[in-house]
Structure 1
Amino acid sequence: MRVVIVGAGQAGAALAAKLRALGHQGEIVMLGDEPAPPYQRPPLSKAYLLGEMEEDRLWLRAPEFWAENGVELRLGQAVTEIDPAAKTVTVGGEVLEYDHLALTTGSTPRRLPASIGGALEGVYTVRTLADVDAMRAEFQAGRKVIIVGGGYIGLEAAAVASKLGLDVTVLEMAPRILQRVASPETSDYVRALHQAHGVTVLESTGLNRLIGDDRVEGALLTDGRQLPADFVIVGVGITPNTQLAEMAGVTIDNGIATDEQGRTSDPSIWSAGDCASFPWKGGRIRLESVGNAIDQAEAVAANILGAGAPYEAKPWFWSDQYDLKLQIAGLNSGYDHIVTRKGEGDVASFWYYRGAALLAVDAMNDSRAYMVGKRLIEMGKSPAPEVIVATPDLKTLLKA
């Protein structure tokens, strides 16, 4: 049985490794359109951009791992066609047959339209190794950078730029940074952190257009102000890569739609990672995280081999900015109130509730709150908000 995996990122690598770990003896072919071997992306906007991590430390496995485990790794070539009737994919002009096809195609950052300057030289996104390599020379002390978008990617890039001595401005068109993903309390905490490091955070402020002939020189804001810029980083979200799935005729619904086992509408085609949506509590969600990419891909590997087990997501996320380690457990969608637990110094946690149900926790430099919150959510336990605030040792709540 030949399994072809399209996408050599975190999910694709996890799926291939898990197939072998579960004893699959057939062929595994992993196809990646980037020239680099499978690597981790989160450090790109942090340690790698700072120069604190070399490229080979990004690699998910040592290069020899793939050959030693019988995984045929083909890099630097994009898949150009999928024929689900013939069960083939075309890559580099070669047609490969498959018994099972796994689409772990990830996502692509949204870019600014060319009509407002998005195609100017000096305008970057943060997604791939090549993206970061292209912008690293821009990070020189004293230069001015404008970051469009106050989400986690933009804020992580802002933290790196500030630490390297750049003049940093963050533009967020929503009323507050992190509005789509976090509570006002978390936004307030993170905003204060950036301002303490000299970053200018402009909320309720959109970008009208970038200014420059061939290279960006500044930005005209929606309030009429004009800011100079030596370069610009765009962090306004990502779009799941569904083009190949559409070519294969499978159902698309907020990404590549899968059933609870990770199978698409074509029984021989599977999907996992940023590109895949799956059933969740009566609805359908798509998770953009390393944890989900690994766990979902490993579940798909088991189901390709016949396990028949539903994927049970346990959402968790993290973000590193300056000395802040923000850890997030659960999903806060639909919350109606927040409980704040304050520790010493810069330690804090924000607990999201809908009615009496605990949904999620944002833990700021508080690994215990994160660990306990994650366990409580997975166990289906919801301590009363006043108990969260009053309990000296949160670990005791796990035994209650």
Structure 2
Amino acid sequence: MISVLGGLLGMLALIALVPVLVLLLQVVLACLPAPRQRPMAGGARPPVAVLVPAHDEASIIATTLASITPQLLPGDRVLVVADNCTDDTARLAGVAGAEVVERQDARLRGKGYALDFGLRHLASQAPDVMIVVDADCVVGEGAIERLARRCVEAGRPVQGLYLMRAPAGAGAKVQVAEFAWRVKNLVRPRGWARLGLPCQLMGAGMAFRWQDLAGVDLANGHLVEDIKLGLDLCQQGKPPLFCPEALVTSQFPVSQQGLNSQRTRWEHGHLGLILADAPRRAMAAVQQRNGALAALTLDLLVPPLALLVLALLGLNLLTWLAYAVLGLATPAWLALWALVLLALAVGLAWLRFCREVIPFSVLLYAPFYAARKIPLYLGFLIKRQVEWVRSKRDDD
């Protein structure tokens, strides 16, 4: 009986070690000096259409469009899909100079449906490149140019650097969220890119060649439709390329309701994708001998940092209790090493990429931040969110 328990605990510790080792490898690779970027080819860049899905974004849509329209050239388009809007999003987008289409369907809700609607609208005059920007984002100077050129040159989907920032005066929990976001969207894809491996799609700052979208099903209400789309494209032989020179930024909501809604959607969606999709993607990677898909599946297995911290703390408590009572040493040491390696990865990521933005004292709050998210993860087990819900803005 003791040997069976030891085997089970050892297996749990080894399973927990896998995402930690993937994360540590990505962080170490990201800390290496960045390779010199090959200059982009000269000449006229390809025509683009910037697609902006928007649901009740009247408070911010003008700011978003103001960051996009100066970067457009003759022949480019910016299309706002006002999706199930109950405010002035459509009117304000039109005033700001965008082409606007409205979609009303209370049954089929979610960003994926809005993207599909916009894609079909653009099909009559299809652009060479389509770029997706969320309606609450600001597009950095030159980002449209870099995304479009890189997409055409590489012949692959391209993901820019999409960062979310804590508002001025935000508390420690929002700053911890900003740190976790930078690790996920900057450090980890940069590390994989050092090996020539693809990155996950992040939802904004995504560029696609028009022909690559032909075989993709966008019309879905998946909570993390961007990650699913990246995996679909990778499985079709079109792995997304990371382009950190193209910056897109957004801001975390300050309101607790907005933060909770946002986190629940992202993290329930991510966890659901790990359980439902990871085994199938791993099998496809083996069958196709698709190394890019295997790498993206490994990346998918790294859960949100808060959950990883909680899981390892709980595992250490369990295994060291088993060691104290039953003398089972191996699982306890494996669990401890996993926790130490996670702390090393987090410390390296902060030191190299975040110390000028986030004070070290904020990291000391991280375990308490993780503990406050226990109800969110219990909710995944008891009442998982399966429908897309827009995050509440601070001025709603």
- TM-score range (shorter-chain normalised) is under 0.3
Normalized per residue, the structure richer in strand is: 1
Between Structure 1 and Structure 2, the one with more helix by share is: 2
Higher relative contact order at CA 8 Å, sep ≥6: structure 1 or structure 2? 2
